[in-house]
Amino acid sequence: MLNLVKTEYIKLHHTFGERLPVIAPVFTLCLVLPWTYGFGDAVFAGVWNWWYTLLLPGMLAVFCYLAMNKDKKINYYHLKAASVPVKKCLMGKMIYASLGLLSANFLVFVGTWLLGSLVGWSVPVMAGFCAIFILSATYLWEIPLYLFLSARFGLFAVAFVCMALHIFTASLLAGSSCWWVLPASIPARLMCPVLGILPNGLAVSAGSHLLRYDVLAPGILLSLLWFVLLAGLTLEWFRRKEMGK
């Protein structure tokens, strides 16, 4: 499996896709630079809010599309010709995309911590560190979804679904009791107790039910179950495609 992950890395080597998990966090941090000295600690909340509600899902959607598009251009010829089953090749692609997701979250954490140290923000280091793994786990399910949409429909479908899930729906449900219904609303809901930030970027008021930590385990578990389900469906679709069904 390690060799398959290395293969995916080589495919995107020296391309925009390879640099995207670095470019997106850096762009997020650059957005706050004009307000660094004027708004103080509130900028920390803005960085994470812009990241997990908008830029992270957008980065992941484009990253998955670019990873799949290189195979799609040659009609998956090398996947079909390889001695390794197509399912295993796609699992390697999913692992590679998940590593890109994890590294992007890690860079946001490191960048926020470094920038906060320079300008005197009060950065909750442990909360940011936990956010790395929680966001990576709760966004994992989108990888097989975007890979399937990229292979079946193309970039427009990927972009439309990404915007529909996160811009128009997730932020509306995250603060309600139905946050668990839509997996896209789970990350924003879990960031309420972890970072103390509402989906609109404002701080959660003291005593709010949104600060309860008992939503973390169910939210992460639900996201992982969605990942298993969508990964299984995506792998099965590719298996049937390989057989010409």
Q: Which residue has the higher pLDDT, 115 or 33?
A: 115
CA 53 to chain centroid: 10
Give the residue carrying structure tokens 């609109």: 200
Instruction: Output the CA–CA distances (angstroms, integers) from residue 200 to 10, 48, 53, 63, 184, in the order listed.
Output: 39, 11, 9, 25, 15
pLDDT (tens digit, 9 = 90+) per residue, 21-72?
999 999 988 887 766 555 556 667 778 888 998 899 999 999 999 988 877 7
Question: Is a pLDDT exceeding 80 seen at residue 148?
Answer: yes
Instruction: Count the helices and strands in the chain (H runs, E runs).
Output: 13, 0
Percent share of the chain, pLDDT over 70: 86
Tell me the pTM.
0.90
Confidence of residue 229 (pLDDT cuts 50, 70, 90): very high
Query: What per-residue confidence (pLDDT) applies to 161?
Result: 92
> Strands, DSSP E only, in the chain?
none
Question: Is a pLDDT exceeding 80 seen at residue 171?
Answer: no
CA 38/CA 32 separation, integer angstroms: 10
Give the residue carrying structure tokens 């729906």: 169
Mean pLDDT across the chain: 84
Query: What per-residue confidence (pLDDT) applies to 223?
Result: 96
> Region 99-127: what's the mean pLDDT?
85
Q: Which residue has the higher pLDDT, 14 or 85?
A: 14
